[in-house]
Structure 1
Amino acid sequence: MVTRVTNQGPLTGVRVIELAGIGPGPFASMMLADLGADVVRVDRPGGGGFGAFPGDLLNRNRRSIAVDLKQPEGRDLVLDLVAGADALVEGFRPGVTERLGLGPDDCLAANPKLVYGRMTGWGQDGPLAQRAGHDIDYLALTGALHGVGRAGERPVPPMNLLGDYGGGGMMLALGVVAALYAVRGGAPGQVVDAAIVDGVSVLATQIHALRGIGLWQDPRGVNLLDGGAPFYDTYECADGRYVAVGALEPQFYAELVRLTGFPPDGGDGPQDAGAAAGGEALDRDDPANWPALRAAWARLFRTRTR
C-alpha cells in the first residue's frame, strides 16, 4: 500500500475505489482525488499496460493496492472495499467487469448506495461497443476532428485532450459528483455511464449551434475560432518563437492595433500609432479581408522578437 498526503477539499470524506486503467478513467479519479476524495486504486499485479508508467501524474493523490481480479479472492477483496465506499470508477470494455463479478449489479448488491462510474469510448452497446479505440478515433466519428486544422490541410489531432480528458474523464467526474449528490439526498445507488463519443458531442454544442444559424462553415480553418480569423491566431516572431493573439472583441482589437502601430490598410508602410487606432481601412469583420490582414499581421510580428 502506497501512502499519500491527506487531501482536503469539497469531497473530503468520500471514498472512491478505482479499478486501474488508462487515460480518461485515471483522469476522472485524479480529479476526484484533487477535490479531496480518498481514492484507492486497484492495480493489476506487476502493473504494466499501455499508458502506465512510473511517475505518471494522472495517478497522483491516491493509495494503491495490487489485486488479481481474475481470482475469486481478488474479486471478494474488491467487493469488501466497495461495501465501505461511496463510488467506484472503472474503464474496461463493456462486459468485462460483469465477467469478473464486479459489474454494477454485483457491486450494488454489496453496497446499495454506491455510485458506479463507467468509462468507455463508444458506449455500453451499439455496433462499435466492443471495438478498441483511441482519442483520434472518437473525435473522427463525432466529427470534431474535422474542425481542427488549417484551411486546405488535413485535420490535426489535438493531442488527447479533447476526447480522453474533456469529453471522457471530465464528464465522468462530473457524473460521479452529480450522482453522489443525488445519493446523499436519499436516492438509491446510481450507475454513471460515460462515453467519450457522447461527451465530445456535448462539447461541440456551440459549434453545432453556430452552424445551424449560418455562422460556422464546414471547411476547417475559415471560421472565427478555428484559426480562420487573423485576430484569433498564432504568429511567428523574429526569433522563431510564437505569439498567440486573441483579440476577438472590437475594443481589444483596437488596443492591439494601437499598441503595435499596425497599418490600418494592411500595407507595409510605417503608421503613426494614433492614426492606426482610428484609421482602420480594412473591415476586420469581413472574412474577405482576412487573408490580407493575416499577411500584414504576419509581417509585423516577424519584425520583432517575442
Structure 2
Amino acid sequence: MGPLSGLRIIEIDGLGPVTFAGMVLADMGAEVLRLTRGGDAPAAAFDEVGGAVLHRGRAAVPVDLKSADDRDKVLALIGGADALIEGFRPGVMERLGLGPEVCAARNPRLVYGRVTGWGQTGPMADQVGHDINYIALSGALYPMGAGDQPPCPPLNLVGDYGGGAMMLVSGVLAALIEARTTGRGRVVDAAMTDGSALLTSLFHALRARGLWSDQRETNLLDGGTPFYRCYACRDGGFVAVGALEPRFYAALLAGLGLTADEAPQFDRTNWPALHNRFAALFASRNRDEWAAHFAGTEACVTPVLTLGEAVDHPHNQARGTFSKAGVVQPAPAPRFGLDPAAIKAGRPGLPLDQAMIDWAI
C-alpha cells in the first residue's frame, strides 16, 4: 500500500514523459489505468523494448479514441477518476472529444494533467520536437559538455523526465490536494521548456552575481574546476571527483600526496595546470584501485559506474536500489519509511468493458 493508494488515475498512453509519470504514480500506490491505442507502431515497438519497465504497475486497456462508443466508455471511466494524464500535442484531446472542458463537465473534481515539449500556448506550441530541442530552447543544454565541443545531450533525463514527467507528477499531486478542499480540479500544463528552465534556477542566480560564465568548462559545476570533474584512469575507467568544500578538498589532496601550497583550491589561474596534474595522477592507477584508496575518506571520489555495474554495487544492493526480478530495473523512489520499495509488475491487459466494471467497484 503506497501513499497514493485509493487514487484513480487514467493515463492516455504515449511515449516519453507521460509514460514515466504514470510509472511513478503507480509506484506510489495509485491505481493507474493505461488506455492504449491499438495498432500504433511506435507504441508497439516501445511496449516490446521499454514497456517491460516503464509500464510496470498498471493494466493496459485498448481503446479506439476515434470511436464514439469507446469515447463514451472512457468518459464513464473519467467520471470515477481523480486525475487524467496525457502527452499529446495541443488540441489533439480536444479533437478526440476528451478535452479538459468535456471531462470537467463529466467530473468537476478531475485533475487534468498535460505534458508537452513547448506547452499548451505560445508561438511554438504546435511545433514538433524532442527532449534535445526543448532543453536547447530553455538554456539547459548549452552549459553541458566540453568547452571546445558542441553541447552534449544529457540523455533524455533533463527534458522528458526531469522537466517534463516529474513536473507533471508534482503538479498533478498539488492539484489533487487542492481538489480535495475545493471539489474542483485544475488543468496542469507541464511544458518541458518550462520545467527544464526551472531546473537551471541556481545557475541563473549565480550568473546574476557574476559567478557563472556562459563559456562551458569555466565554472564551478560544469567541469571547469580540477576538483569537480571526472578523470580517466589507467584501465580506461573513470572516477568522479566532487571535493567542493575546503575540508573535502584537503582530503583529496592528502589522498593524492599533494599539499595545499602545491595546489591552492581557488586560484583560477592555476586551474589548467592543476587539472593536468590531477589527470596524470589518476591515470597512474586503475579505477577500482582509486575507489579503494579513497574509500572511507572525505575526498568525495567515487568510481563512474556503467549501468550494468551500478546494479551490482554493494551500496545499491544493500538498499535494493535495483530489482533483478524479471527485467533488471531501478526500484521505485523515493522510499516511504525504511522498507524497500516494492515493484508492482505490469498487470495483464483487460477489455474496456471490464475496466469500467472494475472501476465501478
Return the TM-score normalized by structure 2. Answer: 0.77
1:39 match: secondary structure? strand
- Counting only pairs closer than 5 Å after superposition, residues 29-178 of structure 1 correspond to structure 2 as 29-49=22-42, 52-54=46-48, 55-56=50-51, 57-178=53-174
Over residues 142-187 of structure 1, what are the superposed CA-to-partner deviations in whole Å (9 max), with x where a residue is unaligned? 1111111111211111100000100000000000000011111224
Unaligned ranges ≥5, structure 1: 1-7, 264-275
Question: In the alignment, is the contact (CA less than 8 A) between 2:249 and 2:265 conserved in 1?
Answer: no
2:269 match: secondary structure? helix
Q: Distance in 2 between matches of 1:95 and 1:27?
A: 22
**Stretches of 4+ aligned residues off by more than 4 angstroms:** none
Query: How far did 1:47 drift?
Result: 4.3
Query: How far did 1:284 drift?
Result: 1.6
In structure 1, give the amino acid aligned to 2:47: F
Unaligned ranges ≥5, structure 2: 288-361
- Counting only pairs closer than 5 Å after superposition, residues 1-306 of structure 1 correspond to structure 2 as 8-49=1-42, 52-54=46-48, 55-56=50-51, 57-261=53-257, 263=258, 276=259, 279-306=260-287
Q: Distance in 2 between matches of 1:134 and 1:150?
A: 22
Q: Distance in 2 between matches of 1:200 and 1:128?
A: 16
Query: How far did 1:125 drift?
Result: 1.9
RMSD: 1.2
In structure 2, give the amino acid aligned to 1:209: A
2:9 match: secondary structure? strand
Number of matched pairs? 284
2:46 match: secondary structure? coil
Q: Distance in 2 between matches of 1:283 and 1:154?
A: 30
Q: Distance in 1 between matches of 2:286 and 2:75?
A: 60
State the identity %: 55
1:73 match: secondary structure? helix
Question: In the alignment, is the contact (CA less than 8 A) between 2:108 and 2:183 conserved in 1?
Answer: no
Over residues 175-208 of structure 1, what are the superposed CA-to-partner deviations in whole Å (9 max), with x where a residue is unaligned? 0000011111224111111111011111111100
Q: Distance in 2 between matches of 1:47 and 1:36?
A: 28
Q: Distance in 2 between matches of 1:12 and 1:231?
A: 45
Query: How far did 1:281 drift?
Result: 3.0
Residue 270 of structure 1 is matched in structure 2 by none
Q: Distance in 2 between matches of 1:22 and 1:78?
A: 20
Q: Distance in 1 between matches of 2:265 and 2:148?
A: 22
In structure 2, give the amino acid aligned to 1:101: G
In structure 2, give the amino acid aligned to 1:121: G
Return the TM-score normalized by structure 1. Answer: 0.90
Over residues 255-303 of structure 1, what are the superposed CA-to-partner deviations in whole Å (9 max), with x where a residue is unaligned? 1111231x3xxxxxxxxxxxx3xx4333221221110111000000111
